[in-house]
Amino acid sequence: MGYLIKPKDYKPVLDIKQTELAIKKIKDFFQGSLSAELRLRRVTAPLFVLQGQGLNDDLNGIERPVSFPIKDLGDQRAEVVHSLAKWKRMILADYDIECGYGIYTDMNAIRPDEELGNLHSLYVDQWDWERHVSKEERSVEFLKDIVRRIYSVMVKTEYVVYEMYPDIKPKLPQNIFMIHAEELRQMYPDLTPKQREHEITKKHKAVFLMGIGGKLGDGEKHDGRAPDYDDWSSEGEKGYPGLNGDILVWNDILEQSLELSSMGIRVDKEALLRQLEIAGEEKRKELYFHKRLLEDKLPLSIGGGIGQSRLCMFFLRKAHIGEIQASIWSDEMRAECAKYNIPLI
């Protein structure tokens, strides 16, 4: 059935009609505000890319992409995107986006290997964004500045929801707390990475957790990252590796942290070579995307994804992502959700 958290005495604040109207309001306001804050223009994105070009996001390297043959291309295979992490960087180059400006798009993906539950669906919808940066901006301080800008848009959006529906009181603090995964490990050495996230987010309510993908002081990673988009092996804050991170907020209904965004400064040529070697994926150097990067034909950039359904789920105080988006759930999960007053679309 997947993993289902069943909040006690849960009752949705909004009915289905109000929810649909609120989703539209949140998405329109958030993407417009994000575009203005980061100077991003909207572009059209693909649902699928050709296999074998190195364009698809490999996530943790074990998730299977949905693929299919294309009859008119001699049965060459295409893959439904996992995300647009690398495709966006090519668009910065192809559209000749100036330094200090960027792009955003609606990304829709299918991830058949997800363990379904309150936060995970087969269907992933997010705003993918990418911004051209200078060499000097490849720093922890610049990363933090961009995070603060994105978080300010989240705070404003929560207030817009409150204006529409006064029963939904704002919960986000005005400022986001920032910490590196190594510092967090030292604070809670006996907890798992996910338990550490819950503890720090419960305390601060909104957290940017940096340094995802590189090995920490105990030789373990906080979480996995593909080697060819985020720069997780460069020296970051206090000598710790990593120029990336996740935005987490505290979900009172599920009593756990909720990841709303994954983002980071992207690899330059040196970081790509280093991370491919660390990951044992040096063969990727021959792929189309990687060749363009190694030949200095792609701009330096920062980028990430912001979950649309998760954002709406948090702002509308929903217990399940299936209250926001239409997806496929087992009969058992639908029955359990109905039993606990969780109305899945």
Active-site positions read 57, 111, 126, 246, 259, 262
Phi, psi of 204, deg, nearest 5: -105, -10
Q: Residue holding tokens 């092996």? A: 233
CA distance 271 to 230: 9
Pairing label, strands 256-265, 301-307:
antiparallel
Nearest to 51 by CA among 299, 289, 293: 289
Partners of 178 in beta bridges:
208
The count of C-alpha atoms lying within 13 angstroms of the C-alpha of 154, restricted to the half-sphere facing its C-beta, is 29
Amino acid identity of 230? D
CA distances from 91 to 51, 200, 230, 297, 304 (A): 18, 36, 17, 11, 14
Partners of 332 in beta bridges:
none
Q: Residue holding tokens 């363990």? A: 115
